[in-house]
Structure 1
Amino acid sequence: MRTRLHCCAMSCNALSIKEKEHPVCTLDVNLKVKGEMRLALCLVGKIMKKKLVNRDVFMEVMNKIWRVYGGVEIEPVEGNIFAFYFSNLDDMQRILKGGPWAFVQAIIVFDKPAGASEINDLKFMYVDFWVQIHNIPLICMTKEIWMFLGGMIGKVHDIDLGTTADGSGSFLRVRVTMETKQSLQHYLRVDLLGFEKITTMLL
């Protein structure tokens, strides 16, 4: 994909001065508005897998999994990159908040196109995760400390304000944004009292 886009960019740069002086047309305002409205309900997703996936199977599976009330139009773009056009903002936000999503054991990373940006301008750098933090001492049972702990993992977007219990004890849930190149942590190490006594919390 990168090679093809790079060749396209080189071709544009290679235009002669005379070719670059051709008349420039301005898009009709009504057409621009329609394009912006469609773009506002668009997500571009990349399946983080080197091997090309079966496009038809992917589109069929995602439509079944998401069950978007207003429907979603999925269009292949390039390689493992797809454009998702929703009919309303609620559906699009629900899919974003319901992630992360995966296909054939590979995560799908979304980016939001804007303006006249091109596909090669999208970086697919960030993904949101719900993370469980286990082994939390009682001194940490405040929202502010939860925000601090979540901030050690990534940018905090949401917190499950009630700790949850399972067979291994209580744990906290935080939703954080992480870089796709960032390795997933397995624990946090915190000096809670400033006495160099380290508390380890499992993720």
Structure 2
Amino acid sequence: MEDVLNDWKRFSLLEEETNRVTLDDDNPNALEVFLAAKFLTRRALNIEAIGRTLKPLWKIQNGFEIRDVGNHIILFVFDNDSDAERILATEPWTYDKHLILLSCYDGSGPIWSIRFHSVKFWVQLHGLPINRLNEKTAYEIGRSLGEVSSAAQVGELFGGDFLRIRVGVNVTRPLNRGRKVFLGKDGEVWVTFRYEKMPNFCYWCGMVSHEAKECSVWLSSKGSLSLNQQEYGAWLRADPFSVGKKSFMFVSGTRGDFGGIDGMARSS
């Protein structure tokens, strides 16, 4: 239907259909801010249930509007940019243990033209030698996975014996499990990816769009596959990292520091 409507130029129009309707610039919806959302759950959506779920999580002071536009797409309407930006900055969000794919939407085009393809995750990078745990390494490996978001502070990138990087992950492809990383004269290592706040995904094919029981790989096998043949698993999930619990800091040197006991001794 959408293709037909979009291809109206090939029709022989009726006389009445050639009449043009002109809308003026006085648009009462011009100040609204939109976020379009694709819900990956297979269940029917209930906007009241969605509102009850997201209200305590999003904590929007002035509230927000929810519009169900079909095909598991929901339009969230806010009265300011800051609320929408904050929600995008704290992805991923889930509903019914499945991902919500969010996209900025200016309201000027048809809703079905939006392409939902990526979600920002904090991805943990495990398996690197200690002497390679630095900001440069985090960003280089992160860029091989997707569009990297700059960290607000360097400490966000360090998790003790692993690195973290915030990346826009392409969810139309199977989840990446890791990377081969060449270390020059030190050889090569396998770096395992673990995703913070990762909801349900398929352990057979690595897609976030469905669960294992709905996967074509499993269904076509007619039950002949065993669980030890799954190439993905819960090990791809990581517990959210608490930035407040520091695992990284710099202690300044004593040069120029004349306080404390030594300073008192020199001044006596």
TM category, shorter: 0.7 to 0.9
Would the aligned equivalents of 1:140 and 1:146 in 2 still touch at CA under 8 Å? no
Matched, 1:44 2:41: no
The Cα of 1:98 is off from its aligned counterpart by: 1.0
Residue in structure 1 matching 2:133, options 141, 149, 160? 141
Q: Distance in 2 between matches of 1:23 and 1:146?
A: 55
Matched, 1:29 2:20: no
Aligned length: 190
Task: Give the alignment's Cα RMSD to 1 decimal.
Answer: 2.4
Matched, 1:164 2:159: yes
Q: Which residue of 1 aligns with 2:182?
A: 191
In the alignment, structure 1 segments of 5+ residues that lack a partner are none
Paired residue type of 1:185: N
Paired residue type of 2:94: A
Aligned to 1:69, the other structure's residue is in SS state coil
Residue in structure 2 matching 1:103, options 71, 95, 115? 95
Aligned to 1:64, the other structure's residue is in SS state helix
Q: Distance in 2 between matches of 1:43 and 1:192?
A: 42
Matched, 1:16 2:16: no
Paired residue type of 2:145: I
Q: Which moved more, 1:115-124 or 1:152-161?
A: 152-161
Higher strand share: 1
Q: Distance in 1 between matches of 2:68 and 2:36?
A: 10
Aligned to 2:162, the other structure's residue is in SS state strand
- 1:79-100 CA-to-partner distances (Å, cap 9, x unmatched) read 3111111122221111111111
The Cα of 1:9 is off from its aligned counterpart by: 4.7
Structure 1 residues 80 and 21, CA gap change in structure 2 (3 angstroms) = same
Q: Distance in 2 between matches of 1:201 and 1:164?
A: 15
Q: Which residue of 1 aligns with 2:192?
A: 202
The Cα of 1:115 is off from its aligned counterpart by: 5.5
Aligned to 2:69, the other structure's residue is in SS state strand
Aligned to 2:48, the other structure's residue is in SS state helix
Q: Distance in 2 between matches of 1:52 and 1:201?
A: 39
Q: Distance in 2 between matches of 1:142 and 1:151?
A: 15
Q: Which residue of 2 aligns with 1:176?
A: 167
Instruction: Give the TM-score normalised by structure 2.
Output: 0.63
Paired residue type of 2:24: D
Larger radius of gyration: 2
4+ residue segments displaced more than 6 Å: 10-13
Aligned to 2:15, the other structure's residue is in SS state helix
